[in-house]
Amino acid sequence: MAASECALDEATYELAVPALARAGRIDAARKMFDEMRKREGIGRASAGVYGVLVDVMAKAGRLDAAMGMYREMVAVGHRASPAVSTALVEGLVRAGKLDAGMELWDEMRRGGLRPSFGLYTMVVEANARSGRLDVATQLFGDMEKSGFFPTPATYACLVEMHASAGQVDAAMRLYHSMANAGTRPGLSTFTALLMMLANKRMLDLAAKVLLEMKASGFPIEVTASDLLMIYIKDGSTELALRWLRFMGSAGIRTNNFIIRQLFESCMKTGMYDSARPLLETYVAGLAKVDLILYTSILAHLVRCQDEGSERAIMDILSASKHKAHDFMCGLFTGPEQRKKPVLSFVREFFQGIDYENEESAARYFVNVLLNYLVLMGQMNRARCIWKVAYENKLFAKAIVFDQHIAWSLDVRNLSVGAALVATVHTMHRFRKRMLYYGVVPRRIKLVTGPTLKMVVAQVLASLESPFEVSKVVLRAPGDSVLEWFKKPIVQQFLLNEIPSKADVLMHRLNVMFPSSAPEVRSLSIPRSLGMSR
């Protein structure tokens, strides 16, 4: 027809343009539409043609072209049908152009068009997910007034978004409205509500919702434990204990990992009366109290200043059933009860450690234990612990002998107590090498780091040592150290390496570490390093 210069009439254009558009040939339809507008004698395109082009381009994702066609349609005096407006709003919202979609929505409403149920649902959920909760709530109310019954997905979206925003009143109002409408909340809705209530510390309301979740047929053990972890991580130990009691009353069990977390939280906050039953539950649940957990309890004992609390912590140590506690009790008894010297007893304990899996835990234990022994004035026992720990290569790089050039001790990675014990014991080793074997290095270094520098320096200064203090190192010439080792006060300080059988325990230690000794005398043991508790 074009080759024979036979022009299409208006009716043919009206049939061809929509047919090409619906067949997916949008570019051809648009080209023919442009021809139609330029052809003389043909009036404006009908609303139907405009509507089909807007609808097809919107659904094809050509939103800019669809919006241009829509504006042209309105400009020439046509009124868009609900289907066309709906297709364009849906296209804009799905493409994430919510502002443009809502602008067209408002224009459509002002024109008197009534949105469909599907469009209402899409716009409400899109605004909710975008955080525009006030708009979403208003649209939700309009939707209900228009006679549309919201779907479970719409209810769930609104409840979950309000819960994520921490809007308790709005979320709970929608939740109750959802239940009254006979719509069953899903797992994600219950979870979002419970997380919000937990974060807001509304424990009683959370318990009520959790039981409703159970009544709806959902498993609740994991969710209840997740809420318990929220309280623990938030530092709300009292609330965590209340929630655990509620779980117990409702027959909900949690796992040993969470029990351990709550136990450690109780220890940090000094709630020792609550901590012991938790540890007993942990042990009764066949969970393993490892050396790290036992040592962390011992660390609380080291820092404790109250005698009543010390007794409570000792009860907790006993409840751990860990072999390290038997070792601790034996360490503080006399040789008659141990049936062997302290050094042999300590070596036997350290031989039973699985160094492949527990090496770092053993180092942690030694550091904390040496802190405790130094505070108790038990330097001889402390030196035995350090000696055996070093023999077992727990601190293999701490002592370095570079023949006649330099000897050094590195205590940077040790606790204060361990650093002091290591210094005393290593000075004793250096003294033996110098006096008995005649080996004198050019210099001796104590690498302390900035934290332990003054502690070690203060101990050595009390003995008039030749060590000079720099930023992170104490150093002295080998000859000066040799002369210092010959002083009687230094000999007295360094020589007593292993406790003798005549050692008598302090009354306090026997109270805290019960033994079968028939008679305990209370003596004040001199504290070698002059440290006050």
Residue 189 inside a domain? The answer is: no
Q: Which pLDDT score is estimated for 486?
A: 86
Residue 526: which pLDDT band, with cuts at 50, 70 and 90? very low
pLDDT of residue 77: 66
Q: What are phi and psi of 500, to 5 degrees?
A: -85, 165
Q: Is the pLDDT of residue 495 over 80?
A: no
Q: What's 424's domain CATH number?
A: 3.30.1370.110
Same domain, 29 and 13: yes
| pLDDT score of 515 more than 60 | no
Question: How far is Cα of residue 269 from the mean position of the Cα atoms in its chain?
Answer: 18
Tell me the average pLDDT across 315-329.
90
| Boundary-marking domain end, from 91, 114, 137 | 114
pLDDT band at 61 (very low <50, low <70, confident <90, very high): confident
In a shared domain, residues 305 and 411:
no
User: Do 401 and 389 fall within a single domain?
Assistant: no
Look at residue 394 and tell me whether its pLDDT is greater than 80: yes
Q: What average pLDDT score do residues 2-8 get?
A: 72
Half-sphere exposure of 256 (CA within 13 A, CB side): 11
Residue 379 and residue 305 share a domain: yes
Pairing, β 406-410 against β 468-469: unpaired
Instruction: State residue 290 phi and psi, 5-degree precision.
Output: -85, 175
pLDDT tens sequence across 86-116: 676 777 777 777 777 777 777 777 766 677 6
Per-residue pLDDT tens for 278-306? 999 998 887 888 899 999 999 998 888 88
Last residue of a domain, one of 345, 374, 395: 395
Tell whether 130 is covered by a domain: no
- Residue count of the chain: 533
Examine the fold and report which residue of 395, 419, 453 is the final residue of a domain before the chain moves on: 395
**pLDDT confidence bin for 524, thresholds 50/70/90:** very low
Mean of per-residue pLDDT scores for the chain: 80
The reply to whether 69 falls in a domain is yes
21-25, 40-44, 231-235, 359-363: least confident range: 40-44
Separation between Cα atoms, residue 190 and residue 196, nearest integer Å: 10
Q: Which domain holds residue 433?
A: 397-512
The answer to the question of residue 161 being in a domain is no
pLDDT of residue 161: 84
Any domain includes 454 = yes
C-alpha angle with apex 436: 431 to 437, nearest 5 degrees?
100
Say if residue 504's pLDDT is above 60: no
Of residues 360 and 119, more confidence is placed in 360
Query: Are 427 and 454 in a shared domain?
Result: yes
332 with 318, same domain: the answer is yes
Query: At residue 127, what is the residue type?
Result: N
Instruction: Work out the number of other CB atoms within 10 angstroms of the CB of residue 471.
Output: 8
Alpha carbon distance 33, 315 (integer Å): 90
User: Do residues 452 and 466 both lie within one domain?
Assistant: yes
Same domain, 370 and 415: no
**Same domain, yes or no: 366 and 303:** yes
Q: Is 475 helix (H, G, I), strand (E, B) or coil?
A: strand
- Report, as an integer, the average pLDDT of 514-526: 37
pLDDT band at 266 (very low <50, low <70, confident <90, very high): very high
User: Higher confidence at residue 37 or residue 270?
Assistant: 270
Q: How many domains does the chain have?
A: 3
pTM (predicted TM-score): 0.70
Same domain, 3 and 101: yes
Q: Report which of residues 506 and 21 the model is more confident about.
A: 21
* Residue written as token pair 């835990």: 361
In a domain, residue 174? The reply is: no
Q: Which helix (H) or strand (E) holds 370?
A: helix 355-375
Residue 16 resides in a domain: yes
Checking if the pLDDT of 263 tops 90, the result is yes
> Is the pLDDT assigned to residue 247 strictly greater than 60?
yes
Q: Average pLDDT, stretch 146-152?
A: 76
Let me know whether 2 and 104 are in one domain.
yes
Residues 94 and 3 in one domain: yes
Residue 262 lies in a domain: no
The torsion angles phi and psi of 108, rounded to 5 degrees, stand at -65, -40
What's 38's domain CATH number?
1.25.40.10
